[in-house]
Amino acid sequence: MSANEKIRITAHDLMELHVEALFTHDRNMRLRTINEPWPGETPAPQFFLGRTVEGTTVCRFRYDLPEQLVEQMKLLCADEPLVTDFRTKPKHLTSYMRLLQGERFTMGPCFLIPREAEPTMQVVSVTRENMLNYLHGGFEWLISEIDYAQPCIALVIGNRAVSICRSVRITSRAHEAGLETLETFRGRGYAAEVVAGWAKAVREVGAIPLYSTFWENSASQSVARKLALNFYGVNFTIL
């Protein structure tokens, strides 16, 4: 993170940008749906908890949860300690699961991609105008989404995209990265290149590039380490 960014934005600010990019909200800031840029609606999880490296929390609840339950859970959220290790589960995990009768949760680290992250290999922007040149041999599924997943940055070998980073959660203030590399081209550093190129493109449209993953996704975490991404917290949801 550059010195100017450190002045302008905190880990708490970033976590709020993160949850607002992930989900749509109603006027009471209750969760409605997953904020997918393409058509269709997927219900949001019951509960989102963002724990930051500053010791603050951002918690959001689905619109259909009773207010009394929400207030009870807010008290627990306020008692969560700061996080230094993304593998540390919430202090009140058992209580959250019991109160919501949850069967499954997700958790993972959240990062800001710093301005210093720059691609060292040539990457290209994939748009409707040039997509048929690149989206073959494994990325055909992206053709129907290309208008919604912008910016979309690819590393191309032999006129074929082999690794792509695109915007999969979008607001006017922040974009969340979606990263895919064809299986036979993994482990060559291509993923880090497209993430860096995507982050640069996101900043050019005036938004903040955010990158998050699941705690068990070691390949995605390797990309974060390679690019020296700025860890600002851990997200947690109960479905």
The 10s digit of each residue's pLDDT in 20-65 is: 999 999 999 999 999 999 888 999 999 999 999 999 999 999 999 9
And the tokens for 208? 């903040």
Per residue in 180-193, pLDDT tens? Answer: 999 999 999 999 99
Q: How far apart are CA 18 and CA 21, in angstroms?
A: 5
Scan for tokens 């900043």, then name that residue.
Answer: 203
Per residue in 156-180, pLDDT tens? Answer: 999 999 999 999 999 999 999 999 9
Q: With contact defined as beta carbons under 8 Å apart, do 126 and 152 qualify?
A: yes
Q: Positive or negative, the Cα torsion across 50, 51, 52, 53?
A: negative
Residues 63-70: contacts with CB under 8 Å, at least 24 apart: 63/26, 63/28, 63/30, 63/31, 63/32, 65/30, 65/100, 69/99, 69/100
- β-bridge pairing 105-112 and 230-238: antiparallel
Identify the pLDDT of residue 39.
87
CA–CA distances in Å: residue 108 to residues 32, 66, 198, 213: 21, 27, 21, 5
- β-bridge pairing 160-170 and 57-61: unpaired
Count Cα atoms within 13 angstroms, Cβ side, for 144: 4
Q: Is the pLDDT of residue 103 over 80?
A: yes
Which phi and psi (to 5°) does residue 149 adopt? -105, 55
Q: Is the pLDDT of residue 218 over 80?
A: yes
Name the burial class of residue 10, with classes exposed (0-12), middle (13-18) and buried (19+) by CB atoms within 10 angstroms of its CB. Answer: middle
CA–CA distances in Å: residue 166 to residues 43, 141, 149, 194, 198: 22, 13, 6, 9, 7
Per residue in 194-210, pLDDT tens? Answer: 999 999 999 999 999 99
3 state SS for 12-45: HHHHHHHHHHHEEECCCCCEEEECCCCCCCCECC
Q: How far apart are CA 193 and CA 121, in angstroms?
A: 7
Identify the pLDDT of residue 1.
41
Q: Is the pLDDT of residue 4 over 80?
A: no
Q: Is the pLDDT of residue 8 over 80?
A: no
SS3 89: coil
Residue 137: how many CB atoms within 10 A of its CB?
Answer: 13
SS3 163: strand
Per residue in 113-169, pLDDT tens? Answer: 999 999 999 999 999 999 999 999 999 999 999 999 999 999 999 999 999 999 999
Residue from 106, 89, 114, 104 nearest 231 by CA: 114
